[in-house]
Chains A and B, each alone.
Chain A
Amino acid sequence: MNIYVLMKRTFDTEEKIQIDGGRIEEEGAEFIINPYDEYAIEEAIQLRDEHGGEVTVVTIGEEESEKQLRTALAMGADKAVLINTEDDLEEGDQFTTVKILEAFFEDKEADLILAGNVAIDEASGQVGPRLAERLNFACATTITSISVDGDKAQIERDVEGDVEKIETSLPLLVTCQQGLNEPRYPSLPGIMKAKKKPLEELELDDLDLEEDDVEAKTKTIEIYLPPEKEAGKVLEGEVDDQVKELVSLLQNEAKVL
């Protein structure tokens, strides 16, 4: 099977967030593989081990994204592709990202593309279904189970807590939800091997794209932190008194009762 994984390098949102000059301050921040993309990588590796074929991890980003691609290779992916837009583009949005991915996939004859359900930083959840539409692939979002047999796939989806069982066909794009699997940690031999695995770097030019083709359709005009919340009131005294005080506060101060 010819399997691809879409991976985004994201800001670790466990970290404290600061804004500098209207942008999220990235200096010194921790960057990780988007957690939902880890499920995608793990599932891709398992499917390859079962059916044969190859797993290629693709990311659009900058030089720094190599680190996360190497981690994916160390987990067991076969190849990595970095589409580096650093020199060509200043701005971009989901339209941009998908336009680039569409051009990349044009001649790839992918059977299966796995993406994350959502990126934890910008969190639009658009990239997967948008790309499926451009490639005219069948699409299943928020999957928690997948098995492939020939050109058919049996899938379980998480739909607001309900489990939906569907049958669909390849070529297919899925987006991965928590619960799909337990992503492995890269092993030491895996890390050694990853250093020698192919990591291809492409630019817009290599995909026959001009800046204008991928111009964003949306624009961020402001980024801000929510107003610093006053430290919450932690109540004191005997439990009975705390409960009485809480009810009184909810009634008279917060006015929600």
Chain B
Amino acid sequence: MSRKVLVIGEVREGALRNVSFEAIAAAKTMSDGGEIVGVLCGSDDLTNMGKELIYYGADRVVTVQSDQLASYTSEGYSQALMAVIDDESPEGIVMGHTAIGKDVTPKLASKIETGLISDAVNIEETGDNIVFTRPIYSGKAFEKKIITDGLIFATIRPNNIKALDRDEGRSGEVTAKEVDIKDLRTVIKDVIRKSTEGVDLSEANVIIAGGRGVKSEDGFKPLEELAEVLGGAVGASRGACDAEYCDYSLQIGQTGKVVTPDLYIACGISGAIQHLAGMSNSKVIVAINKDPEANIFNVADYGIVGDLFDVVPKLTEEIKQIKVNA
């Protein structure tokens, strides 16, 4: 059964987030040959980003441009997106499971009285059903879920569903829709930006994460150097953030970012369940910890029992070597 699917795209620091492209790939599975319509909200001209969604597989794109959409607000975006949903009457909707996705999709689902499957890591078509897989119980188990009534609505975890190849040869319409956004009850007074420019942890392929074992702000330096040679990003445990060794924007886990890199190197992290909830899905996990009993070794593929200040710089050197030889 072919379905028309809306993909809600998301812009971060002037560029589309990768998860928006992954959402198009998800929409392909959901649509079964039906039309895929991208949706973008913002205050600037969104035509070029609309084209980008088309290069990644959308058939056409609707943009909503308004000064009221300069920053994300729950009400502003819900109004804009509801207007598009009313216009398009889609049979499916998909978006990234990001801060914005988590905030806005339940409101939309509630308004249209539909089911919503949050944080899917896989989508497959089996018979007439679209089946979503999602981690539950802090990542210790998985469930497969279907929508039994109404439109198919889901958010997807970044870095799990592969985006389609970009193809500049694809074309499609990008149309602007006027929406009168009104009666906003919430105003943003200020945003204190903590995120490191550029790197989006949830999209990084390699993450070097530090915990309380890193011992100081300076202690993160060797980790940064390792990240640099691997072209990766630096992350952290709550322990390291609470101790003020690094910023909360680096936090990985249940309360922080949920990541699925190809390679996750945990340095001086004990492996509390709330931390594992944010990274246990990583493809390859390396643990460096001086305590052989640390729980992190239970999820690690490879472990080195030792002092991270000894191990990490040596690892950086060794990798530099092989990069030179390659």
Using a CB–CB cutoff of 8 Å, the interface residues on chain A facing chain B are: 11, 13-14, 17, 19, 24, 93-95, 98, 117-118, 120-134, 138-142, 154, 158-169, 177-179, 215-226, 229, 232-235, 239-240, 242-244, 246-247, 249-251, 254, 256-257
Contact = CB atoms under 8 A, between A and B. Distances in A.
Given A121-B136, A221-B145, A161 B248 contact: yes
B217 to A, nearest CB: 16
Given A161-B194, A239-B306, A250-B263, A129 B110 contact: yes
B303 A235 contact: yes
B87 interface: no
A239 B307 CA distance: 9
Contacts of A141: 74, 102-103
B190 interface: yes
Contact of A246 (B104, B142, B315): B315
29 contacts: A13-B138, A17-B137, A124-B116, A128-B106, A129-B103, A130-B109, A130-B110, A133-B78, A138-B186, A161-B195, A161-B257, A162-B249, A165-B191, A177-B255, A179-B255, A217-B150, A218-B148, A219-B148, A220-B143, A221-B131, A223-B136, A223-B144, A225-B140, A225-B141, A226-B140, A229-B301, A235-B304, A250-B286, A254-B263
A126 B193 CA distance: 26
Interface in B238-274: 238, 247-251, 254-257, 262-263, 273
B318 A242 contact: no
Contacts of B181: none
Nearest to B187: A167
B82 to A, nearest CB: 10
B95 interface: no
A246 B189 contact: no
B299 A229 contact: yes
Given A161-B251, A235-B303, A217 B148 contact: yes
B113 A95 contact: yes
Given A216-B148, A257-B322, A166 B302 contact: no
Contact of B146 (A160, A219, A232): A219
Contacts of A132: 107
B127 to A, nearest CB: 11
A62 to B, nearest CB: 19
Interface string B147-178: 11110000000000000000000000000000
B188 A164 contact: yes
Given A165-B190, A243-B318, A222 B144 contact: yes
B140 A13 contact: yes
B319 A234 contact: no
Nearest to A224: B142
Nearest to A249: B302
Given A221-B146, A232-B302, A250-B263, A125 B118 contact: yes
Interface string B302-324: 11111000110011001100100
Contacts of A166: 186-189
B115 interface: yes
B119 A121 contact: no
Interface centre among A118, A127, A164, A224 (most CB of B within 10 A): A164
Contacts of B262: 256
Nearest to A126: B106
A14 B119 contact: no
B248 A224 contact: no
A130 B319 contact: no
- Of B110, B191, B318, most buried by chain A (CB within 10 Å of CB) is B110
A233 B189 CA distance: 50
A221 B144 contact: yes
A245 B300 CA distance: 15
